[in-house]
Amino acid sequence: MTDQEQAGDEVLYEVSNHVATITLNRPHRMNAISGLMLRQLADRLAEADLDPEVRAIILTGAGKAFCAGLDIKDAIAGTGIGGDTKSGSGRHMGTRNHPTTVMFEMDTPVIAAINGAAAGFGLDIALGADLRIASESAKLVTGFAKRGVVPESGGTWYLPRLLGWAKAAEIGFLGRDMNGAEAAEFGLVNRAVAADEVLNVANEWAAEIASNAPLAIQAMKRLFRHGLTEDFPAHVHHVLLQTMLLFQSADFREGINSFAERRPPEFKGN
């Protein structure tokens, strides 16, 4: 699917110039997650990862928010995620085909363009992206402990790895909200920019990623992921095997030839 979804869908999807833009589309509820949005988001992420034409993904929110977390109003009414478990709504919280699980297993780079508030699930899914560009004024809500819960969708795994134990504990145990500029100082986001520049910068980064050799980028992301659980000798061995495969690719030859000829490379992904 390469055309933008109809406006009534809860997740919009568009591909242009090797970049897929996935937009959470419940602006009237600050893009709070419904069961339908959860399923559609997982499907769109998987679709983008399987598309050989897609070399980078931007994930953002429609309107003024990135994602306000699970839809509390629906949950209280017993119709949403975390609501009446007898009705089966609790099935949405499983890990199979969950967006954060899909993101972790993807080889295509993901940029979270945090255009506004990111809370709960919304913050967790932003942490699952490879890169984060945030509005300076975006509100990152980390007060899980103030609600009697934990970061349930990957946050407890990502935070210590992204920031170290002490910083993760500071964020989790104190539960203080922070804006995008503070998050950048903390190292939680890569860069904080003016609100009207978030998507522009995200698109610039995505275009630059897409101009590089896609097989190398995908292999690099896989090796980053595997390196989190491998010892050094095992990891170096896997890097060597991957490098030998890349040496056989047309993209590798194009990279060498373009360097020698002093011209920009034109990678085909093969």
**CATH number of the domain encompassing residue 224:** 1.10.12
| 223 shares its domain with 199 | no
| 45 shares its domain with 175 | yes
User: Does the residue 190 lie in any domain?
Assistant: yes
| 174 shares its domain with 239 | no
pLDDT digits (tens, 9 = 90+) for 62-74: 999 999 988 766 6
Domain boundary among 173, 192, 210: 210
At residue 33, what are phi and psi to the nearest 5 degrees? -80, 125
Instruction: State mean pLDDT over 6-16.
Output: 84
Q: Distance between CA 180 and CA 193 in Å, rounded?
A: 8
pLDDT digits (tens, 9 = 90+) for 206-262: 999 999 999 999 999 999 999 999 999 999 999 999 999 999 999 999 999 999 999
pLDDT digits (tens, 9 = 90+) for 22-56: 999 999 999 999 989 999 999 999 999 999 999 99
Q: Cα–Cα distances in Å, from 231 out to 80, 216, 226, 228?
A: 42, 22, 10, 9
User: Does the residue 185 lie in any domain?
Assistant: yes
Q: Cα–Cα distances in Å, from 117 out to 67, 113, 180, 186, 201?
A: 6, 11, 9, 17, 18
Sheet with 110-114, edge to edge strand ranges: 11-16, 19-24, 56-61, 110-114, 131-135, 191-193
At residue 252, what are phi and psi to the nearest 5 degrees? -65, -45
Domain span at residue 238?
A: 214-260
Give how many domains the chain has, as a whole number: 2
Q: What is the pTM of this model?
A: 0.88
| 127 shares its domain with 223 | no
| 125 shares its domain with 253 | no
**CATH number of the domain encompassing residue 92:** 3.90.226.10
Helix (H) or strand (E) holding 168: helix 165-174
| 159 shares its domain with 197 | yes
CA 54 to chain centre: 15
At residue 84, what are phi and psi to the nearest 5 degrees? -70, 105
pLDDT of residue 4: 45
User: Does the residue 268 lie in any domain?
Assistant: no
| 65 shares its domain with 103 | yes
3-state SS, residue 16: strand
Q: Distance between CA 179 and CA 175 in Å, rounded?
A: 13
Q: Distance between CA 270 and CA 253 in Å, rounded?
A: 10
pLDDT of residue 181: 96
Residues 6+ apart with CB under 8 A from 84: 78
| 66 shares its domain with 47 | yes
Q: How confident is the model at residue 147 (pLDDT cuts 50, 70, 90)?
A: confident
Residues 6+ apart with CB under 8 A from 74: 32, 34, 80, 81, 83
User: Does the residue 160 lie in any domain?
Assistant: yes
* Segments of 7-164 assigned E as strands: 11-16, 19-24, 56-61, 65-67, 110-114, 117-119, 131-135, 139-141
